[in-house]
Amino acid sequence: MKDRIETLLGEIEAFAAQNAEQAEQFRLNYLSRKGKISTLFEEFKTVAPDMKREVGQLLNRLKTKAEEKLESLRTRSESEESTSGHTDWFAPSGAPQGSRHPLQLVRREILDIFGRLGFTVEEGPEVEDDWHNFSALNFPEEHPARDMQDTFFIDVTDPKNPHALRTHTSSVQVRILEKTKPPVRIVMPGRVYRNEAISARAHCFFHQVEGLYVDKAVSFADMKQTLLYFSREMFGADTQIRLRPSYFPFTEPSAEMDISCTICHGKGCNVCKHSGWVEILGCGMVDPAVLSNCGIDPNVYSGFAFGMGIERITMLKYGVNDLRLFSENDVRFLGQFGGG
Ligand code: PHE
């Protein structure tokens, strides 16, 4: 009998269970009423009296061992099942990794560059009223931009101040100037809408970053230096800029700014139409009438403003030749830009 107990002790020691079912099998085999250990206890009655003490101790040890083993088998199989039965949120997923949208990458870069010059970020609504999008910005009553052909109107119940999707981020200039005493030094990113036929070069919505600096004695030279710094940070230290006279109702004087072509570096290519220059933004000194409209004295303050299209900058920076790619959500296109 002693030998059989020793054998069982060895068996129990070595037993391993993979799951709760096998742990239960262990219990039935050794510890149930008809199990091997109970059988030994039955037989114990017949053990010779002088052996009872020794065999009894051995038998009790066997039972305790079996119970301890069962306990450990049960807790182990429980925890294993809980990990295999549930999602392990920390396991590597193997799912494809997303990337940032190229427009988002460039937007962030533009804001970063101006941030280094002390410009802070402001935003405004995409549904705008006539005052903020046009009138306060000195657009004359009969300006073509106010026409249905160019602007998506939303609500014209008040013909004096209809609501439309903003056609540019210049509306945010007005919103901020109305409620802030200069100095104001801000960049204003956002989506804008124009009623245009969609093509490789035009879309009914796109994105702009507007800039505005109003303080005492802000000059055209300040604007030029700011935009030169921006261009060189964005497109490389050897980038040249060129300002051409232009017209916007809300700036005087106004200009359009070109940079030396990033593709051919001035040698002439399709992107710059063999001129060596590509236009990237509109700018100018804030028209005194705009300052007055916002309650700011133009005799005390002056400022400059600029507005650029994020799509345009992105196309030049990454050599993208079709505006539609930005909104088609083709992951083969979007995945090329990386950036976390
Ligand atoms: N709002 C102008 C546009 O959309 C750009 C601009 C902004 C020009 C600020 C001058 C000053 O074309």
- Distance between Cα 129 and ligand 1 center (Å): 18
CA 148 centroid distance within chain:
34
Q: What is the phi/psi pair of residue 251, to 5°?
A: -130, 150
- Distance between Cα 171 and ligand 1 center (Å): 10
- pLDDT recorded at residue 145: 79
- pLDDT recorded at residue 13: 87
Q: Is the pLDDT of residue 78 over 90?
A: no
Looking at per-residue pLDDT, the higher value among 323 and 87 belongs to: 323
Among residues of the chain, what percentage have pLDDT more than 70? Answer: 96
Summarize pLDDT for 231-250 with one digit per residue, the tens: 999 999 999 999 999 999 99
- Distance between Cα 288 and ligand 1 center (Å): 16
3-state secondary structure of 262: coil
- Distance between Cα 182 and ligand 1 center (Å): 20
Query: Which residue puts its alpha carbon closest to atom 4 of ligand 1?
Result: 168
Torsion angle in degrees (nearest 10) through CA of 287, 289, 294, 297: 90
Angle CA(66)–CA(72)–CA(77) in degrees, nearest 5?
125
Query: Which residue puts its alpha carbon closest to atom 9 of ligand 1?
Result: 306
- pLDDT recorded at residue 128: 97
Mean pLDDT for all residues in the chain: 92
Return the residue matching tokens 């059989």.
Answer: 4
Domain boundaries, the chain: 2-83, 102-334
- pTM for the model stands at 0.73
Query: Which residue puts its alpha carbon closest to atom 6 of ligand 1?
Result: 307
- pLDDT recorded at residue 262: 87
- Strands annotated E in the chain: 120-121, 127-129, 153-155, 163-165, 184-193, 205-215, 241-248, 251-260, 277-286, 302-309
Query: Which residue puts its alpha carbon closest to atom 12 of ligand 1?
Result: 282
pLDDT band, very low/low/confident/very high, at 85 (cuts 50, 70, 90): low
Q: Is the pLDDT of residue 95 over 80?
A: no
> What b/e string do you get for 238-272 counting C-beta neighbours within 10 Å, with b at 16 or more?
ebbbebeeeebbbbeebbbbbbbbbeeeeeebebb
Summarize pLDDT for 257-276 with one digit per residue, the tens: 999 998 888 888 888 889 99
Q: Which of 101, 156, 100, 103 is nearest to 130 (CA)?
A: 156
Pocket probe mutation, ligand 1, options 128, 169, 170, 209, max atoms within 8 Å of Cβ: 170
Summarize pLDDT for 111-162 with one digit per residue, the tens: 999 999 999 999 999 999 999 999 999 999 888 878 877 999 999 899 889 9
Give the position, in ligand 1's atom list, of the atom nearest the Cα of 309. 4
pLDDT band, very low/low/confident/very high, at 291 (cuts 50, 70, 90): very high
- pLDDT recorded at residue 169: 98
- Distance between Cα 326 and ligand 1 center (Å): 22
Query: Which residue puts its alpha carbon closest to atom 10 of ligand 1?
Result: 283
Pocket probe mutation, ligand 1, options 210, 248, 250, 257, max atoms within 8 Å of Cβ: 248
CA–CA distances in Å: residue 215 to residues 97, 182, 303: 45, 5, 6
Fold annotation for 102-334:
BirA Bifunctional Protein; domain 2 (3.30.930)
Summarize pLDDT for 153-212 with one digit per residue, the tens: 999 899 889 999 999 999 999 999 999 999 999 999 999 999 999 999 999 999 999 999
Summarize pLDDT for 13-52 with one digit per residue, the tens: 888 877 888 888 989 999 999 899 999 999 898 988 998 8
- pLDDT recorded at residue 94: 75
- pLDDT recorded at residue 293: 98
Give the position, in ligand 1's atom list, of the atom nearest the Cα of 281. 5
248 lines ligand 1 (CB under 6 A): yes
3-state secondary structure of 224: helix
Count how many residues are written for the chain: 340
